[in-house]
């Protein structure tokens, strides 16, 4: 009986080591594939949820896979970070380790855009800086042949793949005339977000102190094996 218990413990240890080894190898392979597919600035961080890993690998279905990428460029638009959580991912282990293929039934994500992407679309001389934890546009705006010091908070909205930046709390230097409406018009910009990685669709957008956070989701997501 004692020998059997020793053998059982040994077997469990071997299985645990094998489980963690395959778990790490699968995560590493997905990270490598995604990084190459989307030409990220650094290899993504990948985490495969659920335990044990071996039972998921044998079944070819994973309850949850999280992918966090570094910076990438999507059709000339800089993306600072893409944080994706994919659920019910179908990927036989043989496919993961050889022919790259992994499809998730659903995914939600947060995509971070740096304020430099908005700033380059604003009039010359206007920059976006954070004041008291809130982003604000400010600078010298050329109007009627004169340069006027202006500043404004910003409100960001999204409709489909179009993002609109609207100034609020507009302030104009002492000019003796009310130029608030004209300044607001000049500082209002709209631009189109290109096709996001993993075919994500925008569901919301928020201006944060460190950038613009886009919420997105998708179904039938080709995590590995699709086109970047």
Over its length of 228 residues, how does the chain's per-residue pLDDT go in tens digits?
A: 554 344 344 444 544 555 666 777 778 888 888 888 888 888 999 988 877 777 777 777 888 899 999 888 877 788 899 999 999 988 776 655 566 678 899 999 999 999 888 888 888 888 898 888 888 988 888 876 778 888 899 899 998 888 899 998 888 876 555 677 888 888 898 888 878 888 899 999 998 888 899 999 999 988 876 555
**Model pLDDT for residues 114-165, shown as the tens digit of each residue:** 988 888 888 888 889 888 888 898 888 887 677 888 889 989 999 888 889 9
Instruction: Write out the two tokens for 102.
Output: 């992994």
């Amino acid at each position: 009986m004692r020998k059997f218990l020793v053998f059982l413990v040994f077997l469990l240890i071997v299985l645990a080591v094998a489980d963690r080894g395959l778990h790490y190898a699968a995560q590493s392979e997905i990270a490598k594939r995604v990084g190459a597919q989307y030409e990220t600035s650094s290899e993504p961080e990948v985490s495969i949820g659920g335990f044990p890993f071996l039972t998921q690998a044998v079944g070819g279905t994973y309850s949850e896979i999280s992918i966090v990428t570094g910076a990438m460029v999507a059709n000339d638009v800089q993306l600072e970070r893409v944080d994706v959580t994919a659920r019910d991912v179908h990927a036989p282990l043989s496919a993961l380790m050889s022919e790259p293929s992994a499809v998730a039934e659903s995914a939600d994500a947060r995509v971070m855009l740096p304020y430099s992407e908005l700033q380059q679309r604003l009039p010359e001389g206007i920059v976006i800086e954070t004041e008291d934890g809130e982003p604000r546009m400010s600078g010298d705006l050329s109007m009627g042949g004169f340069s006027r010091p202006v500043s404004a908070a910003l409100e960001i909205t999204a409709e489909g793949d179009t993002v609109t930046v609207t100034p609020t709390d507009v302030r104009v230097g002492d000019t003796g005339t009310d130029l608030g409406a004209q300044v607001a018009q000049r500082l209002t910009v709209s631009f189109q977000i290109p096709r996001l990685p993993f075919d994500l669709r925008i569901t919301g957008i928020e201006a944060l102190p460190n950038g613009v956070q886009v919420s997105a989701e998708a179904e039938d997501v080709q995590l590995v094996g699709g086109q970047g």
